[in-house]
């Protein structure tokens, strides 16, 4: 049987997970693809660093060049993370014509087009299944499984840390700070947690998914992002009373009513924000660290992918899948069969968030006095934003009480401007809280009164 040598850069959590998975299922993989993948060298930060699975010392080096530049290494994994050294490692390997497998969403997000071009120029390829949603084969699904579909919408719970925190807040009726602190103590959230809870990890992943779904590269600068710091227990409770759960979603939607992009490519929404989704929807049932992605294709309809989005074993599973593809591509000389990224023509555009239309949940803290509701409703009315329902929940007494509005569809910019005006009313005692509502239905929300 043909043997291909693998050079691994990164032997930490994910790297040692890949090593272990290859030990465990290497024979199975070989039987399935007809090629044996053999680890030749592993570059690590420090030989003695703790790792979840052991790697024989004889394979270890602290010099990544020794791995990448070894003429007997045929395939390279980059599992170090970050965007500086990782970029050099990937470029060096690609320039040597070696296929690279990476799990590095931040690197792709920052330098994807450059690395794809490098792969093309050197007749090799870059594989990145592990970069989005760990063990869920969502990259392969978008590139291959749905190759015959227009992607109408994609909604992803793509950050396990945020989903874990929101799940625990709802389940234990606990506030954000308490749950975050506990999650950090238990190792479910990083310290500092900003990359996850401010939505940037989800932004990187959503950009990759949007680019694959629509065939033009979507850089992070074009992706509206809001994290989960603003989600309070009170909002989870009011949302639940109205039949909704709050989830951090990566959202990619075709906006067929918007002006098309350059060359009449698709106009799309790409964003990350905490959204209210119907509690009865299957995505609302995705609990804890699990990820899930709903892909709506124009031919296939709704499909759902669910699984562990992070962790050494789930991520290793995705790396093994890429290793199999890379090995087969090498063997059959088909390295460009599925290029890392296919720029489709004509190009598309990301619609600025302020033009995107959605429903909203708004929570105000107001003085409990006759006439207050009328003054606030007048601002929405002047902004031509329809009110679907208003609740002043009972049981809240005192000078300041909550007032909840469910708003019909309206452009984001109009909602933000109306809320800025409302915030300035003397009867409003705290900054308005607003979350968008995503009904997740097949036909999308429709409200003949929107803007009326
Ligand atoms: N930190 C990420 C998460 C996993 O919480 O889902 C790596 O992208």
Whether residue 395 is predicted with pLDDT greater than 80 in this model: the reply is no
Q: How many residues belong to the chain? A: 452
Q: Is 227 in the pocket of ligand 1 (CB under 6 A)?
A: no
Exposure string over 59-76, b if 16+ CB within 10 A, otherwise e: bbbeebeebbebeebbbb
- pLDDT bin (cut points 50, 70, 90) of residue 397 is confident
pTM greater than 0.75: yes
Atom 2 (ligand 1): residue with closest C-alpha? Answer: 159
Whether residue 314 is predicted with pLDDT greater than 50 in this model: the reply is yes
Q: Which pair of structure tokens corresponds to residue 240?
A: 């639940």
Short-list 441, 420, 276, CA closest to 360: 276
Contact 296, 302 (CB under 8 A): yes
What is the DSSP pairing of strand 244-254 with strand 267-278? antiparallel
Phi–psi pair at 91, nearest 5 degrees = -65, -40
Q: How far is the CA of 188 from the centre of ligand 1 (A)?
A: 10
Report the pLDDT value the prediction gives residue 307, as an integer from 0 to 100.
98
**In angstroms, how far apart are the furthest CA atoms of the chain?**
83
- pLDDT bin (cut points 50, 70, 90) of residue 113 is very high
* Beta partners for residue 38, in sequence order: 5
Q: How large is the average pLDDT for residues 338-345?
A: 84
- pLDDT bin (cut points 50, 70, 90) of residue 399 is confident
Q: Is 196 in the pocket of ligand 1 (CB under 6 A)?
A: yes
**Helices (DSSP H) in 355-411: which residue ranges?**
372-382
Contact 251, 357 (CB under 8 A): no
2-127 carries CATH number 3.40.50.720: yes
CA distances from 246 to 20, 141, 190, 235, 353 (A): 37, 26, 22, 8, 20
Q: Is 317 in the pocket of ligand 1 (CB under 6 A)?
A: no
- pLDDT bin (cut points 50, 70, 90) of residue 300 is very high
Whether residue 446 is predicted with pLDDT greater than 50 in this model: the reply is no
**pLDDT averaged over every residue in the chain:** 94
Q: Which pair of structure tokens corresponds to residue 232?
A: 């309070």
Report the pLDDT value the prediction gives residue 345, as an integer from 0 to 100.
66
Q: How large is the average pLDDT for residues 349-354?
A: 96
DSSP state of 174: -
Angle (deg, nearest 10), helices 105-121 and 85-95: 20
Ligand 1 nearest-atom number relative to CA 189 = 5
- pLDDT bin (cut points 50, 70, 90) of residue 447 is very low
Residues 6+ apart with CB under 8 A from 114: none
Residues 6+ apart with CB under 8 A from 285: none
Could you report the per-residue pLDDT of 373-393, keeping only the tens digit for each? Answer: 999 999 999 999 999 999 988
For the annotated catalytic residues, the residue numbers are: 205
Q: Which pair of structure tokens corresponds to residue 390?
A: 């208003």
Ligand 1 nearest-atom number relative to CA 105 = 8
Atom 4 (ligand 1): residue with closest C-alpha? Answer: 310
How many Cβ atoms are within 10 Å of 100's Cβ, its own excluded? 30
Q: Which pair of structure tokens corresponds to residue 424?
A: 């300035």
Q: Looking at domain 140-309, what is its CATH homologous superfamily?
A: Dihydrodipicolinate Reductase; domain 2 (3.30.360.10)
Short-list 320, 307, 313, 312, CA closest to 136: 307
Q: Is 309 in the pocket of ligand 1 (CB under 6 A)?
A: yes
Q: How large is the average pLDDT for residues 285-304?
A: 97
Question: Using CA atoms, how far apart are residues 376 and 382, in angstroms rounded to an integer?
Answer: 10
Q: Where are the domains of the chain?
A: 2-127, 140-309, 353-437
CA distances from 356 to 95, 258, 273, 436 (A): 41, 9, 13, 11
Domains 2-127 and 353-437 share a fold: no
- pLDDT bin (cut points 50, 70, 90) of residue 184 is very high
| Range name among 30-44, 70-84, 342-356 with the lowest pLDDT average | 342-356
Q: How large is the average pLDDT for residues 179-203?
A: 95
Whether residue 252 is predicted with pLDDT greater than 60 in this model: the reply is yes
Q: Which pair of structure tokens corresponds to residue 274?
A: 């905490």
- Distance, C-alpha 174 to centroid of its chain: 25
Report the pLDDT value the prediction gives residue 257, as an integer from 0 to 100.
80
Q: How large is the average pLDDT for residues 351-363?
A: 97
Contact 171, 207 (CB under 8 A): no
Report the pLDDT value the prediction gives residue 179, as an integer from 0 to 100.
97
Whether residue 450 is predicted with pLDDT greater than 80 in this model: the reply is no
DSSP state of 340: S
Supply the CATH classification number for the domain 353-437. Answer: 3.30.70.260
Instruction: Collapse the DSSP code of 382 into the 3-class scheme (helix H, G, I; strand E, B; otherwise coil) and give the result.
Output: helix
């Amino acid at each position: 049987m043909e043997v291909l040598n693998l050079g691994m850069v990164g032997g930490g959590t994910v790297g040692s997970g890949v090593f272990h998975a290859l030990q465990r299922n290497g024979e199975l993989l070989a039987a399935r693809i007809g090629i044996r993948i053999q680890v030749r060298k592993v570059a690590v930060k420090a030989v003695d660093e703790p790792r979840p699975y052991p790697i024989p010392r004889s394979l270890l080096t602290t010099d990544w060049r020794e791995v990448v530049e070894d003429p007997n290494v045929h395939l390279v994994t980059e599992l170090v993370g970050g965007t500086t050294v990782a970029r050099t490692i990937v470029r060096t390997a690609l320039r040597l014509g070696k296929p690279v497998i990476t799990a590095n969403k931040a690197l792709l997000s920052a330098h994807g087009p450059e690395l794809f071009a490098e792969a093309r120029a050197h007749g090799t390829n870059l594989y990145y299944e592990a970069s989005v949603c760990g063990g869920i084969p969502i990259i392969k699904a978008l590139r291959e499984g749905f190759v015959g579909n227009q992607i109408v919408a994609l909604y992803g719970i793509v950050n396990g840390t945020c989903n874990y925190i929101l799940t625990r807040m709802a389940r234990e009726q606990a506030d954000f700070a308490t749950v975050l602190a506990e999650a950090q103590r238990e190792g479910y959230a990083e310290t500092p947690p900003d990359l996850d809870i401010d939505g940037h990890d989800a932004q990187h992943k959503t950009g990759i998914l949007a680019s694959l779904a629509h065939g033009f590269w979507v850089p992070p600068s074009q992706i509206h992002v809001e994290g989960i710091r603003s989600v309070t227990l009170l909002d989870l409770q009011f949302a639940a009373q109205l039949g909704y759960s709050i989830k951090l979603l990566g959202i990619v939607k075709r906006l067929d009513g918007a002006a098309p992009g350059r060359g009449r490519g698709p106009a799309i929404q790409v964003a990350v924000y905490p959204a209210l989704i119907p509690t009865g929807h299957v995505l609302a049932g995705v609990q804890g660290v699990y990820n899930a992605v709903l892909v709506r294709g124009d031919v296939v309809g709704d499909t759902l992918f669910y699984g562990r989005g992070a962790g050494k074993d789930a991520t290793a599973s995705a790396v093994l899948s890429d290793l199999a593809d890379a090995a087969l591509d090498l063997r059959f000389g088909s390295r460009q069969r599925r290029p890392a990224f296919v720029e489709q023509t004509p190009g598309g555009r990301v619609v600025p968030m302020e033009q995107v239309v959605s429903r909203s949940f708004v929570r105000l803290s107001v003085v409990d006095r006759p006439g207050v509701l009328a003054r606030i409703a007048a601002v929405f009315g002047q902004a031509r934003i329809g009110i679907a329902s208003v609740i002043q929940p009972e049981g809240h007494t005192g000078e300041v009480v909550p007032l909840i509005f469910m708003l019909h569809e309206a452009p984001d910019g109009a909602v933000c401007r109306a809320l800025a005006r409302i915030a300035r009313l003397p009867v409003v005692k705290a900054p308005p809280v607003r979350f968008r509502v995503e009904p997740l239905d097949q036909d999308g929300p429709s409200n003949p009164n929107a803007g009326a």
